[in-house]
Structure formats: structure tokens, C-alpha cells
Amino acid sequence: MSREADLDRDEKKQAEEHKKIPSSVIFETIRREGEHELSRPFSALWWSGIAAGLAISISVLSKGVLVSILPDADWAAGITNLGYTVGFLIVILGRMQLFTENTITPILPLFLSPTRATFNRTARLWGIVLAANLVGCAAAALVLVHGNVLPDARFEGILAVSRHYAEATALQHFAWGIPAGFLIAALVWIMPRMQSAGEIMMIVILTYVIGLGGMSHVVAGSTELFIVVLHGELGLFSAVVSGILPALFGNVLGGTGIFAALTYAQVRQEI
């Protein structure tokens, strides 16, 4: 038996406060959150999902505005992608329904209880949130393209960012969607450990990496694709088949097929 250090009461309390949270506790925290999300009514998920689609579009707007201001240089991406983090900060700190967060949150209850009822509830949640996110993205794109809410010079930056995203092939969006899904799922896993300042820092760091790495995020990327569609440069069918669906499958593979599965594997003997 190992011996304890000779500490007074206050020192023992400090040691307890600084003890790392076990992975099994994080798993249970996210699982309970997933159970709550699975039980929420349609209207709550729908309107929260639409709000998330609108808010995540601020990432495209912010990055595009920075692109319009900065010169076309290799170093500029290091600054413009800071704008990409803005929408994610709004959505995640605002606790809105973002589809890529749901590649892990409701999946943990499914892993623990892989019944038909749990599967159906998960499919319902995914369907509602994804559809609502896309509606929000389309509405945001409509305002940006036809609402005259920005000077032409700033809109050109947004259009340049969107065109660049739309140029990728379906295979590229799928491949680039895998690390994006993994990172968002990792962010959800890390959040229970964080205090408020730590939450902000982790959201900025991980979503900045997604933007800087040119990865494909199905929701933010949908706004970019809808902008190009509404500007008359891309067909809606091509946007869905070559952009939205491949990124979706990549995000699900990275978030659920890899990260969520690995996190469950590491704690299943402890729970």
C-alpha cells in the first residue's frame, strides 16, 4: 500500500482540487448531456439548429472581411483564419445545436445502450439538427448575397473564401472532413475540464486549426457553398453532392467513427 504525503487539511483540499478528472467522469458528463439532447422536443432542436446555422456563418463573414483587407500573401492565412473562429465561439458558448458536436454527444448513450430505440432517437436528433443548420446557413447566405448588408469590397472577400471552398472535389471534402470532425469531437470531450477562459481558448485554438488547415466543416462549409450557388456560379445539386454530403460523411467518420469510438473504448471497462 502506498503512503500518503504528510499534508494538513488545507493542503489535502488543494491536492483534491488539482486532481485530474478521470476519463470515465468526462464520459458520464457528456453521456448525460447526450441523453438530455435526445429527449428535447422538435421545436427546441429546430430553432436552436437554425440559430447555429446563422451564427456559424459569422465565421465565413469574419474570415472573408479579413481576406478583403489583407494582401494576397502566404502569411495572410495566419490572420484571416482567426476570423474563422468567431462563429464557433458564438455557437459553442451559446450552447446552440451544431451538427458536428452531435457526432459525439448523443453517440455515447448509443454506445452504452445500442438498442433500436436509442438508435432511432439519435437518427431523429441528427436529422433535425442537420436540416436546421442547413436552413440557417442558406438564410445567412441569402442575406449576404442579396441583402446588401456589406460594402462590395468586403463581400468580394467573402466570395473569394467561398469560391475557394467550392473548388475542392468531393473526395477532398470527404478526406478533409475527417480531421475536422475529429477536432470538433475532441473539443466537446475537452470542454468539461475547462473553466470559462479555458473554454474560449480551446475553441479558438481548435477551430483556428480547422480553418488554417483548410479542412471541411459541413455546416460552415455549407454557407460558403450556398453563397456560390446564390451568386449563380454553382448548381445546388453539385453543391450538395460534391460538397455538403462528402464533408458530412468525413465529419461523421472523424467525430463518431474515430474519436467517439476511441473514447468509448478507453473507458468501457471502467463504466
Query: Which pLDDT tens digit goes with each residue over 13-38?
Result: 554 554 567 788 888 889 899 999 99
> What is the pLDDT at residue 25?
83
Contact 220, 208 (CB under 8 A): no
Task: For residue 221, tell me if it sits in a domain.
Answer: yes
Question: The whole model's pTM is what?
Answer: 0.89
> What does the buried/exposed string (b/e) look like for 167-198 if buried means 16 or more CB atoms within 10 Å of the residue's CB?
ebebebbbbbbbbbbbbbbbbbbebeeeeeee
pLDDT single digits (tens) 173-206: 999 999 999 999 999 998 887 777 789 999 999 9
Is the pLDDT assigned to residue 254 strictly greater than 90?
yes
Task: For residue 46, tell me if it sits in a domain.
Answer: yes
> What is the pLDDT at residue 221?
97
Query: What distance lies between CA 254 and its chain's CA centroid?
Result: 12
Task: For residue 198, tell me if it sits in a domain.
Answer: yes
Q: Calculate the dihedral angle through the C-alpha atoms of 51, 57, 62, 63, rounding to the nearest 10 degrees.
A: 150
Task: For residue 153, tell me if it sits in a domain.
Answer: yes
Task: For residue 235, tell me if it sits in a domain.
Answer: yes
Task: For residue 13, tell me if it sits in a domain.
Answer: no
The x, y and z cell numbers of residue 107, run together, are 453517440
Query: What integer is the mean pLDDT of 139-143?
Result: 98
Domain containing residue 54: 22-267
% of the chain exceeding 70 in pLDDT: 92
Residues 6 or more apart whose CB falls under 8 angstroms from that of 238 comprise none
Contact 84, 59 (CB under 8 A): yes
Task: For residue 6, tell me if it sits in a domain.
Answer: no
Is the pLDDT assigned to residue 9 strictly greater than 80?
no
Contact 271, 28 (CB under 8 A): yes
Number of structural domains (the chain) is 1
pLDDT single digits (tens) 86-99: 999 999 999 999 99
Task: For residue 254, tell me if it sits in a domain.
Answer: yes
Is the pLDDT assigned to residue 1 strictly greater than 60?
no
Of 264, 217, 232, 261, the closest CA to residue 53 belongs to 217
Please give the C-alpha separations between residue 148 and each of 62, 151, 230, in angstroms, as whole numbers.
16, 7, 14
* Mean pLDDT, rounded, of the chain: 91
CATH number at residue 217: 1.20.1080.10
Is the pLDDT assigned to residue 63 strictly greater than 70?
yes
Give the three-class secondary structure for 81: helix
AA identity, residue 55? A
- The residue assigned the cell 487539511 is 9
C-alpha–C-alpha distance, residues 196 and 217, integer Å = 25
